[in-house]
Structure 1
Amino acid sequence: MNRFSEKITNFQDEYSLQKNQLAQLCGSKQLFRDRYAILRVLGRGGFGITFLARNALLPGYPLCVIKQLCPKTTSSKSWEKACQRFEQEAKTLAQLGSHSQIPMLLDYFENNGEFYLVQEFVRGYTLARDLQRNGPKTEAKVKQFLREILPILQYIHQNRVIHRDIKPQNLLRCEDDGRLVMIDFGAVKEKLVDNADSSNHKTASTNFVGTMGFAPPEQFALRPVFASDIYAVGMTCLYLLTGKGPLDFDQDITGEICWQKEVNISDSFAQVLGKMVKFSLSDRFKTVDDVVKALNQENNLQNLTNCLTTKPLSNTQYLPKEPTPQYLSPTARTAIAIREWKAKLNNKQSNRQLNCYLSSVSN
């Protein structure tokens, strides 16, 4: 516990990059921990700072991301919770292993009372930036997005992990191979109970973790479940379809967001999307398998509808039709044309001979 209280004074004011050790190493030849060449700052938030670096000890000097814990807090209790969250992220990344759509954990250590996490660097851009550049997506594009993200979500749920902060800013499109990558597991929570309404469920002692609008009501009540991630994915779909964040939509008296008039999608897909973003947990999809099953049924229904006629038959359609001409190959058509040409030629020769005969008889 002493290590937490000793570090509080370092963060009483806003953490200054000028005083940050890694920030001072940006662009210099000096290595951090005799291994990492710090290149530049990638991002900064209330929880920490991330740096782009190279591992100078490995062949090819591969790029990596170093995440440093820098919470803005004056409370020893808040600092301890931040450290626990940071350690939980490292534990989760190690637990999830080397999934191709989750950044790999490369290192995790404490240095002079500060915590660092080193991850695989994914060269790409967030879905939020992609939408800013290219505008909202079509129904087909959003369905493709679901086909990409649902297997990732299914994988982390099978490992008893709830992400709790799925949003466009935490989803990367890799520039090298186009794959979708889920990042920022700092808000993860291990799922220990399956029934969110269980009477034996103890009140959580941690503060709310997530993003306003993308987090469902049970997450605000500190009782996230697997369906909480499904809600966040559904909200991400609405963002991709409209370019509007969850807080930009109107709400009805029950808390449901009013999004239906903002999108141009099929009724069947709207039903699936609507069940993903239900305000009430009891009305929402409970598992990723349920979402996948509903999407497959929706696709099958749409394909069946396209095969069926919706126009009444006219009276003429009941009359018998003339037989359809038999298909002839080009060779067969050429042979028939030659025979017809010969027949015409023979007719001309016969007519010429007949005319000569008649002329001779008349003389």
Structure 2
Amino acid sequence: MNCFSKNVSNFHDDILLETQLGQLCGSKLLFRNRYEILRILGRGGFGVTFLAKNVTLPGEPVCVIKQLCPKVTNPKSWGRARERFEKEAKTLGELGTHSQVPMLLDYFEMNNEFYLVQEYVRGSTIARDVRRSGAKNEAAVKQFLRDILPVLQYIHKHRVIHRDIKPHNLLRCDDDGRLVLIDFGAVKEELVRTVQKSETRSASTNFVGTMGFAPPEQFSLRPVYASDIYAVGVTSLFLLTGKAPLEFDYDGDTGEICWQKHVEVSPHFAQVLSKMMKISLEERYKTAEEVMWDLGMESYLPTLSNCMTNQRFSPNSEGSIEEMREGYIAPVSRSAIAIREWRNKLKQHQSKVKRHFPQVSN
């Protein structure tokens, strides 16, 4: 008896009837002569995701099959959609070499629908973790950022924007505790955009993302790498508070989330989070590296503070280097002070020469 069949809810009954994989769900009939469909994992605007196992491999490993359903009405559109799907699937294949991105095992087209077969990560989403255990403290959220930002750096170097980072698309693996980023919106968006352009000869009006986690430029269909950074910032806010972004008030002038009064974090970390969630792209972090750098700098702040001096030095200060050693002075400043001291001594020497030898010409 299939241990997963009891998990199929009435909510998914229509999927069981409408899709081929749904009709195979819970039965011993195989999809493509190798995949036994166990249960439905989720349903979105672009398709359905199923849990399956490959019975032709030793150990019958479990995998995830994503069925993408573009609406195509003519052969030219279908050809372009297939080309786009293959290109984006290959990109996912490259990304899957990272331990925190599910590995792409197979991809194919059948009956005017596209399929992705990916590694199944056994674990729970951080959304479920917060519902079960409550909001996280500052240290835990900083660790989350240290886990996710290198993944962001990796996918952006491959010129991929995830477009749908949120608590439900981040899994904590049961086996080794690693954080895994799932459900890339890149393939879905590019596939739909290609079909829409072919069908209507106009730009796509389909938004890929989640309300509250996606920044304004993504709603304008102009996502950039910084769009993912915004989503990670909002996800961090969710971890700190347990609240979805739409539960907060928004600043009427800037459109930014009013979150500060709901969270107690260090001033430096508050600055980092604020910059991650800036509405203006000019003010937001541009890269994951910038966020990682600012987070890393926090541990040095006490040392830097101790090195700072409150003493002010005038550009025309007559003091010597020896008199200023009590406070920290940057190497460039030390050089400038030394030059000024040398010039003052030179002028004094020249004055003495003029007094004793007035006949000497300048």
Please list the CA deviations of residues 169-226 of structure 1 after superposition, one character each: whole Å capped at 9, or x if unmatched.
11000011110000011335999xxxxxxxxxxx954532211111111112221111
Please say if residues 215 and 231 of structure 2, whose CA atoms lie closer than 8 Å, have aligned partners that are also in contact.
Answer: yes
Q: Which has the larger radius of gyration?
A: 1
Size of the alignment, in residue pairs?
284
Q: Spell out the pairing of 1:313-324 with structure 2 (5 A cutoff).
A: none
Q: Percent identity?
A: 71
Per the alignment, residue 187 of structure 1 pairs with 186
Letter in 2 for 1:104: M
Per the alignment, residue 39 of structure 1 pairs with 38
Please list the CA deviations of residues 124-172 of structure 1 after superposition, one character each: whole Å capped at 9, or x if unmatched.
1111111100010000000000000000000001111111111111100
Change (3 A) 1:272 1:77: farther
Secondary structure (helix, strand or coil) at the match of 1:230 reads helix
Q: CA deviation at 1:63?
A: 0.6
Letter in 2 for 1:280: S
Q: CA deviation at 1:251?
A: 1.1
Letter in 1 for 2:16: L
Q: Spell out the pairing of 1:201-212 with structure 2 (5 A cutoff).
A: 205-212=204-211
Change (3 A) 1:267 1:32: same
Please say if residues 54 and 62 of structure 2, whose CA atoms lie closer than 8 Å, have aligned partners that are also in contact.
Answer: yes
Per the alignment, residue 127 of structure 2 pairs with 128
Q: CA deviation at 1:19?
A: 3.3
Per the alignment, residue 258 of structure 1 pairs with 258
Per the alignment, residue 214 of structure 1 pairs with 213
Q: CA deviation at 1:111?
A: 1.6
Q: Answer with 234-243 or 24-33: which moved more.
A: 24-33
Please say if residues 107 and 115 of structure 2, whose CA atoms lie closer than 8 Å, have aligned partners that are also in contact.
Answer: yes
Q: CA deviation at 1:246?
A: 1.2
Letter in 2 for 1:211: T
Tell me if 1:242 matches 2:267: no
What is the distance in 1 between the residues matched to 2:214 and 2:81?
A: 20
Please list the CA deviations of residues 296-326 of structure 1 after superposition, one character each: whole Å capped at 9, or x if unmatched.
1122215767999xxxxxxxxxxxxxxxxxx
Letter in 2 for 1:93: L
Letter in 2 for 1:111: M
What is the distance in 2 between the residues matched to 1:190 and 1:223?
A: 12
Change (3 A) 1:72 1:131: farther
- Stretches of structure 2 lacking an aligned partner (at least 5 in a row): 1-12, 191-201, 309-362
Letter in 2 for 1:58: L
Secondary structure (helix, strand or coil) at the match of 1:161 reads coil
Q: Spell out the pairing of 1:123-162 with structure 2 (5 A cutoff).
A: 123-162=122-161
Change (3 A) 1:270 1:71: same
Q: CA deviation at 1:284?
A: 0.6
Please say if residues 48 and 70 of structure 1, whose CA atoms lie closer than 8 Å, have aligned partners that are also in contact.
Answer: yes
Letter in 1 for 2:256: E
Secondary structure (helix, strand or coil) at the match of 1:224 reads coil
Change (3 A) 1:85 1:184: farther
Secondary structure (helix, strand or coil) at the match of 1:281 reads coil
TM-score, scaled relative to structure 1: 0.71
Per the alignment, residue 231 of structure 1 pairs with 230
Q: CA deviation at 1:48?
A: 1.1
Secondary structure (helix, strand or coil) at the match of 1:44 reads strand
Per the alignment, residue 117 of structure 1 pairs with 116
Per the alignment, residue 25 of structure 2 pairs with 26
What is the distance in 2 between the residues matched to 1:133 and 1:76?
A: 49
TM-score, scaled relative to structure 2: 0.71
Per the alignment, residue 9 of structure 1 pairs with none
What is the distance in 1 between the residues matched to 2:211 and 2:80?
A: 20
Please say if residues 68 and 188 of structure 2, whose CA atoms lie closer than 8 Å, have aligned partners that are also in contact.
Answer: no
Change (3 A) 1:240 1:305: farther
- Stretches of structure 1 lacking an aligned partner (at least 5 in a row): 1-13, 192-202, 309-363
What is the distance in 2 between the residues matched to 1:17 and 1:159?
A: 36
Letter in 2 for 1:181: V
Please say if residues 161 and 188 of structure 1, whose CA atoms lie closer than 8 Å, have aligned partners that are also in contact.
Answer: no
What is the distance in 1 between the residues matched to 2:277 and 2:79?
A: 34
What is the distance in 1 between the residues matched to 2:249 and 2:80?
A: 35
Letter in 2 for 1:161: V
Per the alignment, residue 67 of structure 1 pairs with 66
Per the alignment, residue 320 of structure 1 pairs with none
Change (3 A) 1:110 1:258: same
Please list the CA deviations of residues 339-358 of structure 1 after superposition, one character each: whole Å capped at 9, or x if unmatched.
xxxxxxxxxxxxxxxxxxxx
Please list the CA deviations of residues 229-265 of structure 1 after superposition, one character each: whole Å capped at 9, or x if unmatched.
1111000000100111111111112211110001011
Per the alignment, residue 272 of structure 2 pairs with 272
Q: CA deviation at 1:23?
A: 1.6
Please say if residues 16 and 25 of structure 2, whose CA atoms lie closer than 8 Å, have aligned partners that are also in contact.
Answer: no
Change (3 A) 1:188 1:112: closer
Please list the CA deviations of residues 54-111 of structure 1 after superposition, one character each: whole Å capped at 9, or x if unmatched.
1111111111011112468999999999878755652331232411100011111112
What is the distance in 1 between the residues matched to 2:100 and 2:66?
A: 19
Q: CA deviation at 1:113?
A: 2.0
What is the distance in 1 between the residues matched to 2:183 and 2:163?
A: 10
Letter in 2 for 1:121: Y
